Structure 1
C-alpha cells in the first residue's frame, strides 16, 4: 500500500473502481474518505478499511462489493490483471458461483485493460440475419437479475426515457373556455357591465380533466432487492415527470420517499433515500406495511380515483394472523383506490403457480396482476395505464 503523495492518487483510483462496480461514490464520498484517513492510522489495514467503508458505503448490499474491492485494490493496484490475486482471496477453495456484485467488480477491475489488436478480417461471407435480434431488443427482454453492470446502466438509461401518461379523468372543477359545455352566468353578467348592461357574449366553462394520482408501494426485502434497485430509476423518472405521485418503500417498516425522489439528480436522490431507509434487503412484512399505509396515508394520497402500483413478490412468511392482516389490508386498499395493480417479478417464469400462501391471499383482491422483470414489462405497464380500464 502506497503512502505519502501516492495516497491521494490511490484513493481516487479506488473511488473510480467502486463507481464502475455500481456503488454511488462521488466527490463527496472521496472528500469524506480523505478527511477520515487523517483521523486513523493508515498503516493499520483494519482502521483503513473501517474508515473507507464508513464513508463510501451507504447500503447494506454494497458492503460485500466493497470488501472484495478493498482486498484487491489495496493489495495491488494492478491486481485486476493477475488471476493469482483472485485465487489468494478464495484460499485455494473452489470458487463459488459469482453473484451480480462480483461480476460487476470483475468488469470494473478489467475496464482499463488495453484493447486486443483487431483480428485479421475474414473472408467475406453472406450471413442470413433474418432471425437475429438487435442488442437493444435483447436488452429489453433480459431479466434485471441476469444483467451485468454495463447492461444495468443501459437499462437504467432506457427506463429514464419512459413516461407514464395516465388516462385523464374528469374532476369537479371548471375553468373558462370559449367553447365549453356549461354556461358561466356569473362571468357573463360581470362582463355585461362593461357593455352597459347588455349581454353581447355568453361566457362558458369547461370541466377540468387531469390524470389521477399515482401511488407506488415498492417492496425492498431481500428477495426484491435487485429489482427494487432498477425500478427506483423508473420511480425517479415518473416522480419528476408528473405531479401527484407518492412513492413508499416497505420491508420491515414503511417509508415515504416522495420528497427525496423529487431531486432532479438521480444519484443525489438515491443517496438521500439510502439515508432514511434502514431496512433495505432485509425481511418483509407486507401485511403490516399495507395496514400502516391504510391507517396513516390512505386518506392523504388516495383521493380522486388514485391508481396504486403494488410492487412485491408476495412472499409473506408469517403465520395465520399475519396472513389475515395481509388479506384485510389488501382488501381495504382495493376499495380505497380506483385501480390496484400488482407488479410481481415472479411472473417472469412461464410455469408460475400461486403456491405461496401470501400470493394466494392477495391474488383475488387486486384488479390486475402483471410482471415487472424487464424493460418490455415496464413498457407494457405504461401502455396499460395510458388506456382506460375495462369495466
Structure 2
C-alpha cells in the first residue's frame, strides 16, 4: 500500500454489507471465500477499526488471502472498491479501454481486468454488438474481415487476460499438442525394404544349401526423446508459468504424442521436481499439488543456483538419450553472470536441443541488455516468445526443426552491436 490516508467508504457505507460485497467480488475473481471468512473479516475489522487504510487493508488481507498468488487480485480489487471514489469508471476503463469516452493510455495491469470483471459482474457494460450513432441512428459494421473471438484470444497476452478469457485459454491449451519427430538409432529392425541385412540373408542362404534365393532387409529403429521443462515461477513470471503448466499437463498426458517421458521442474529461489504431479489426469488437482510442492511461488529468482542444482542432482537422471529442454524464464537474475553462463553451457552440452521461452520477447524493443539474459543467450539453440497461445503454437510447429533458432541470432547481433 503506497499511502494510508483516512478511509473513504463507497456510497451507503454499511460495514457488513460492503465487506460482504467485497468478498463476493474476490470470490468471482477466483479467491475461494466462504461465509465463515466473511464473518471473521467483519469481526476483525470491528476489532481493529478502520480509521486508517493500513489497519483496514491488512485486516481484510489476513482473512481473505491464503496463497501468494492471490495477493495481486486482492490488491487490485481493494484499490478499485475501497480506495477510489470513482471506482466504477476505473473498472470500466480496465475492461473497455476505449468505449464511450472512457480512454486509457495503458493496458490493464496484472489482474486488473479480472478485478474489474469481478466487481462489475457484467452489470453496466455497454452493448458493443449493436453500436449506435450519437443521433440514435443505427450503424452497420462490416465484420467480415475481423478476427474470430478464438483467434483474438490466441494473440492476447496471458498477463492481460480476464478471468473468463483465462478459462477459455486453459481449455484451448488442454487441446494443444507438442509433437516431436522420432530419433533414428544405430539399432535396426526387420523391414520389407531399406538396407540389406547381410547376416540374415546369409543365414537364410545356408538353410537352402548356400543358394541365395531372396534378400533380407532392415531399417534403423527409432525412439522418442525425453522432454525436460525448467519453468520459472518467480513473481514476474507467475501468470505465464501457470498458463504454460496447463499446456505441459496436456503434453504429459497426451498418449501417443511422441515424448518418451515429460520431466517438469519449477524454480524461483530453489529447484522443485513436479513431474509426478503432472501425471495426474485432472489438471486442477495436478496444479494444486504442484503448487503445494513448490513453496517459492511468486518469490525471488536465482536462476544460476537453480540450474546448478539441476545439473548436479538431476541431469544424469533425466537428460539421457538426447533430451529436449525447454527453459521458461524472463532471464532477470541478479546473481553472478559468469556462474550463470557456466551452468547454461553445461545444460546446453547435456541436451539435444535447448530452447529458451521468454515472455519479454513479445516487446519489439526487447534487447539483451540485462546481465542474466546476456549471459544465457549464447548457450541456447533457439530463443522464442511464450506470452500467448499463438506463440506456443509456433513452438509446437518448429520444435522438431534442428535449424530453428527463433530470434537468437538477431538478438546476438544486437548484443554485439551494443
Q: TM-score range by the shorter chain?
A: 0.7 to 0.9
Alignment partner for residue 303 of structure 2, among 253, 269, 286?
286
SS of the equivalent of 2:403 reads coil
Alignment partner for residue 248 of structure 1, among 235, 244, 265?
265
SS of the equivalent of 1:340 reads strand
Contact 1:59-1:274 within 8 A present in 2 as well: no
Quote the offset at 1:107 in angstroms: 1.3
TM-score between both structures, scaled by the size of structure 1: 0.73
SS of the equivalent of 1:363 reads helix
CA separation in 2, counterparts of 1:307 and 1:119?
50
Which of structures 1 and 2 has the larger relative contact order (alpha carbons within 8 angstroms, sep 6+)?
A: 1
Deviations 1:245-286 (A, max 9, x none): 111111110011111111111111111011111111111111
Q: Which residue of 2 aligns with 1:265?
A: 282
Q: Which residue of 1 aligns with 2:334?
A: 317
Q: Which residue of 1 aligns with 2:398?
A: 384
Q: Which residue of 2 aligns with 1:138?
A: 152
TM-score between both structures, scaled by the size of structure 2: 0.69
Q: Which residue of 2 aligns with 1:302?
A: 319
Q: Which residue of 1 aligns with 2:366?
A: 352
Alignment partner for residue 211 of structure 1, among 224, 227, 230?
224
CA separation in 2, counterparts of 1:143 and 1:150?
14
The number of residue pairs the alignment matches comes to: 352
Contact 1:184-1:205 within 8 A present in 2 as well: no
Alignment partner for residue 111 of structure 1, among 95, 99, 121?
121
Alignment partner for residue 101 of structure 1, among 111, 129, 135?
111
CA separation in 2, counterparts of 1:151 and 1:235?
19
Q: Which residue of 2 aligns with 1:162?
A: 176
Q: Which residue of 2 aligns with 1:63?
A: 71
CA separation in 1, counterparts of 2:376 and 2:81?
51
SS of the equivalent of 1:335 reads helix
Contact 1:65-1:101 within 8 A present in 2 as well: yes
CA separation in 2, counterparts of 1:227 and 1:120?
34
CA separation in 2, counterparts of 1:106 and 1:276?
31
SS of the equivalent of 1:152 reads helix
Contact 1:58-1:275 within 8 A present in 2 as well: no
CA separation in 2, counterparts of 1:274 and 1:107?
25
**1:127-206 counterparts in 2 under 5 A?**
127-129=141-143, 132-177=146-191, 179=193, 181=195, 183=197, 206=219
SS of the equivalent of 1:109 reads helix
CA separation in 2, counterparts of 1:210 and 1:58?
45
Quote the offset at 1:112 in angstroms: 6.3
CA separation in 2, counterparts of 1:171 and 1:55?
59
